[in-house]
Structure 1
Amino acid sequence: MSPAAPHSHDYSEDTLVEQPAIALFESLGWETGNLYAEWTGSSSSEGRQTQQDVVLEGRLRAALGNLNPDLPSEAIDLVVEELTRDRSKLLPVNANQEVYRLLKDGVPVSVNDEYGHNTLKVAKVIDWGNVEENDFFLASQFWVKGDYHTRRTDLLGFVNGIPLLFVELKATHKTLKAAYDDNLTDYRTVIPQLFTYNGALILSNGSQTVVGSTFSPWEHLFEWKRINDEGEKGVVSLETAIRGIGEPSRILDIIENFTVFEDVAGGVIKKIAKNHQYLGVNKAIAEVWRTKDRPKDQAGRLGVFWHTQGSGKSLSMVFFAQKILRKIPGNWTFVIVTDRNELDEQIYKTFAATGAVGEVEAHATSGAHLKQLLSEDHRYVFTLIQKFGTKKGEVYPKLSDRQDIIVITDEAHRSQYDTALLQS
């Protein structure tokens, strides 16, 4: 950790909150540095050209070279140019979504091979599968200049030079609402370029802490009470939030697999998983890994994931299915079963609005139709339990021998667990 620069807060309670937070990030594997005195004359110790720049280009270039050893320097230049270009003409959430896709899926770049032929490569910006291959740097007291004013942020977490994690800290006697109203809201207006890259937010006064997505309104920020399991005793504190989402593998997991941009009337909303969704989905996915290679005659049961009303069941399904498709090899098909038309429609709309469903809607209207759909190449099949049934004493016919089918049921009433739909 670099030597402390002159403290703007001296020994106020702000510093008493900030310094333990920095030490905790450092213990989790982040390099840390106080950038209060980053600028000496016209040069920056982090290689920024101006205070308006929010990407640490030196760290970004080093990471790109490490992750893409086959790319020539000219291609690296093009990748940096694409990542850092001005997106101020876009709506903030659209700019953020555009950058998010580049971070998640890579930056397409044209490269000439040794024979002069032009080929398209995809440059990796973050190594999502190998956390240790990335550069994690936590900057405190980071100055950012807007069009008219300059602001100094408390803590910013950079991954490969990209500012993905924003942390705003207040003195213990101040309210969290003050951190939102007086700081975060102001920063979003004055230095909007910082939020073009952001993945998640933490606001805290030490004992009270909330987290959220980049543009969350106050009422949609939420507590992060548990780190590893829903059975833990819930503790709302800055330490819990930092360990829960700031640990390097977790912040990458949340950004890669637990972030959606949902199309709604009037635009796009960015959302990240809440605490119970993150823990529950990852627990279910661990069961998929554990059971995916079982013999065919051993039915794989992943368990029950309880939700209260309004707690985001549909989004949990999206997070679960999308992470499996991205992280676990296989030609997976998800059969989503409900017992009401309106529920079926609601879930389908969530999958469609978040971009999870990109094909023509696949709805099974009978057992025979479901059998047909399962023999085709569909990622998702939606259906109602009422479409299936047998006469008393009859065994429902097997619909598929595939072992890469996952059945998800919502509103799991007695009608849905009396009869097994799939033997897979």
Structure 2
Amino acid sequence: MAKGIREREFQNLMIQWSLPMGWDFTAGRSLSRETTQTVIVGQLRDAIVRLNPGVIDGFDVHAVVEEIVATVNAVDGGLVRANEQVLHLLRGRKEFRDADGVWHALKVIDFEHPTTNTLVVSDEVTITVPGKTSRRFDLVYWVNGLPLVVIEVKSPTAKSAWAEAAREINNVYATEYPWFFTPNVFAVASDGLKLRFGAVGAPTNLWQPFRSTADDENLSGQADVQRSVQLLLNPATILDMLANFALFATSGGGADQKYLPRYPQMEAARLVHERVLEGGSKGLIWHHQGSGKTLLMVFAASLLLADPRTDSPTIILLSDRLHLVRQTSGKFTSAMGDAYFHQPATGGELRSLLADDVRGVISTTVHKFADAGKNLSTRANIIVLVDEAHRTQSTRSASLAGQMRAALPHAKFFGMTGTPVKNLATDTFALFGEETDPGRVLHRYSVSRSLLDETTVPVMLDPHPVSFEMNDQALQEEFDQFADDFDLDDPDREALSRKFGRLTSVFSNPDRIHAVCQHIVDHYLAGAYRNGLKAQVVTYNRELAVAYTDKINELLAGFERLRCSPRSGSMTGSPPR
């Protein structure tokens, strides 16, 4: 079947799937707009009048609409920054001055009742201006006359055809007509078999599927795409993402960045918010490593801070390592601003903040709760979001976690982890999980779903046994001789044997260290190094990490001397480090 027919057929399918969710279809050529216009002005004007009864009477509605359209069309600071300003306006946070000079925030969209907005889906929407090539968008989803979602469809004739659709949105449409994307919440690319959504301008590796953790993992092909349309293009989802989950940041003084949530982040953040409103005291979020738990904490915190029902809470973003604190703090302050944000430098500063009943966000490590004492703050609207919740969160009352809980006896605790632990010292499920939650887990994003979503890549295990032998009989004879020399009795012999007969004694044998490190260096130089790749070595403990480092450096130094020798052949390149 011809390429154009396939694409048009799929466009029609997406329209059919959208109609039951409250969208009305209007063909692009029949829209009440000029092809030069981004906004359907009549629909926007009607929405402003309808959504602001009793207030709008004091306004020149025509002037308000003109101001909004001018804001939409302004992209001087770059598309991402313009997108942030327009979404700020659409969230109802921009004030307009009435005829008496009084400022009012006006509603542009009804977020509480999504289907009461004017919802239109259109195909073949043309945009053009004099001197530019006209472009035609496959599908546009309009809310109150504003284009919130743009979709590009490709025929599934090539591998990753959806990625070509995403690149066309980024490199052609948004480049040539950036003002059409200033109201954009997200864009969608699909080839009929796969669907991905992302922020306009974001590289394709950041475009994500949108699914549900409650659905069958085996859903694929067109059925998977249909389900994604039902979930992602539901008016409630689009407006929820606009109101609560589209965050903006400036990365290291560089280009502006827009963050959109992955579907498990959105689900989990909502569940944390709901659990707090219901009066629950805890919850365990079990998400596979690399799924974005730091950003999940930021999304959850933003929901809690924005909701007046939480009564101005204190939210503690807790990590066990300083670099994680900096990572979380950077995401939070850049995405949401530094108002009401605190990062205490010492345990004393942390205690002062809590004792003084400070509200907002505190980003800190669990170690700063050492010697915090009991009942430092007895408020119930303190919410602790714990990153890497399987670490430092011991069940023992004398632990740092125990001291933290004693200091905050009525706080609510939510643990985020990819590897929950259950042993004699720690039970992540008991510490954070409600008994009424299935398996004591509030939300689960499994490794299998993560692989299916291509959020993470599979780890391929390639065993490389290193030949190493120890003479057990000779070792035993040496030990017996040592014990005899020091006249050890049987209990002392047994205790000493247990201590030095552990696995660590074998691991720390110098000959074995040399054999293992030689194998690592040979394997690295033969493969990863030649391909310009890096390598990571994991050891049993810190002492072995130091020993391996010294030995690997020694062996690499030998390789460098050989490489620089006139007899070493033609190998070139920088020495590995």
- TM-score of the superposed pair, with normalisation by structure 1: 0.85
Q: Which has the higher strand share?
A: 1
Letter in 1 for 2:162: L
Which of structures 1 and 2 has the larger relative contact order (alpha carbons within 8 angstroms, sep 6+)?
1
Q: Map Cα deviations across residues 16-38 of structure 1 (whole Å, 9 max, x no partner).
A: 21111101110111111112x33
> CA separation of 1:158/1:402 partners in 2, compared to 1, >3 Å: closer, same or farther?
same
2:169 and 2:200 in contact (8 A); partners too: no
Q: Does 1:326 align with 2:331?
A: no
Evaluate the alpha carbon distance shift between residue 91 and residue 11 of structure 1 in structure 2; reply closer, same or farther with a 3 A threshold. Answer: closer
The reply on whether 1:313 has 2:319 as its aligned counterpart is no
Cα 1:251/1:111, change in 2 over 3 Å: same
Q: How many residues matched?
A: 389
Higher percent of residues as helix: 2
Separation (CA, whole Å) in 2 of partners of 1:191 and 1:210:
22
Question: Matched residue of 1:58: which SS?
Answer: helix
Query: Cα deviations across residues 297-355 of structure 1 (Å, max 9, x unaligned)?
Result: xxx11x12233343222211111111122235211110122111111111111111112
The alpha carbon displacement at 1:262 in A equals: 1.2
**SS state of the match for residue 165, structure 1?**
strand
Unaligned runs of 5+ in 1: 1-8, 39-44, 293-299
* SS class of match (2:266): helix
In structure 2, the gaps of 5 or more residues are 396-401, 411-577
Post-superposition shift, 1:52? 1.5
1:335 aligns with 2:319: no
How big is the alpha-carbon RMSD for the aligned residues of Structure 1 and Structure 2? 2.4
* Alpha-carbon separation, structure 1, partners of 2:17 and 2:191: 15
Spell out the pairing of 1:264-275 with structure 2 (5 A cutoff). Answer: 264-265=251-252, 266-275=254-263
C-alpha distance in structure 2 between counterparts of 1:348 and 1:224, whole Å: 27
Asked if residue 385 in structure 1 is aligned to residue 372 in structure 2, the reply is: no
Among 17, 32, 45, the alignment partner of 1:24 is 17
Q: Assess if the C-alpha contact under 8 Å between 1:225 and 1:235 holds in 2.
A: no
SS in 1 for 2:376: coil
The answer on 1:186 being equivalent to 2:186 is no
Matched, 1:139 2:122: yes
Q: Name the structure 2 match of 1:401.
A: 378
| Alignment partners' CA distance in 1, 2:86 and 2:216 | 35
Counterpart mapping for 1:244-393 below 5 A = 244-265=231-252, 266-291=254-279, 300-301=281-282, 303-329=283-309, 330-359=311-340, 361-363=342-344, 365-366=346-347, 369-370=350-351, 372-373=353-354, 375-389=356-370
SS of the aligned residue for 2:237 comes to helix
CA deviations on 1:203-262 (whole Å, 9 max, x unpaired) are 111111111112221111111232xx3564263532122112110111111111111111
Give the 4+ runs in structure 1 shifted more than 4 A. Answer: none
Larger Rg: 2
* Residue in structure 2 matched with residue 97 of structure 1 by the alignment: 84
Percent of pairs with identical residues: 26
Contact preservation (8 Å) 1:339, 1:385: yes
Aligned equivalent of 1:215: 201
Residue 379 (structure 1) shift? 0.2
Q: Distance in 1 between matches of 2:304 and 2:322?
A: 26
Contact 1:166/1:201 (<8 A) preserved: yes
Compared with structure 1, are the counterparts of its residues 73 and 19 closer, same or farther at alpha carbon in structure 2 (3 Å cutoff)?
farther
Equivalent residue letter for 2:331: T
Match of 2:510 in 1: none
- Residue among 181, 202, 209 paired with 1:195: 181
Alpha-carbon distance change, 368 to 359 in structure 1, aligned in 2, over 3 angstroms: closer
Please tell me the residue identity of whatever aligns with 2:183: Y
Instruction: Write out per-residue CA displacement over residues 10-65 of structure 1, whole angstroms, 9 at most, x where no aligned residue.
Output: 98111221111101110111111112x33xxxxxx41x2x3121111111011000
Residues 211 and 228 in structure 2, CA contact (< 8 A), matched pair in contact too: yes
Asked if the contact 2:315–2:385 (Cα under 8 Å) also holds between the matched residues in 1, the reply is yes
SS at match of 1:354: helix
In the alignment, what sits opposite 2:399?
A: none
| 1:55 to 1:411, Cα distance in 2 relative to 1, 3 A | same
Q: Which residue of 1 aligns with 2:149?
A: 165
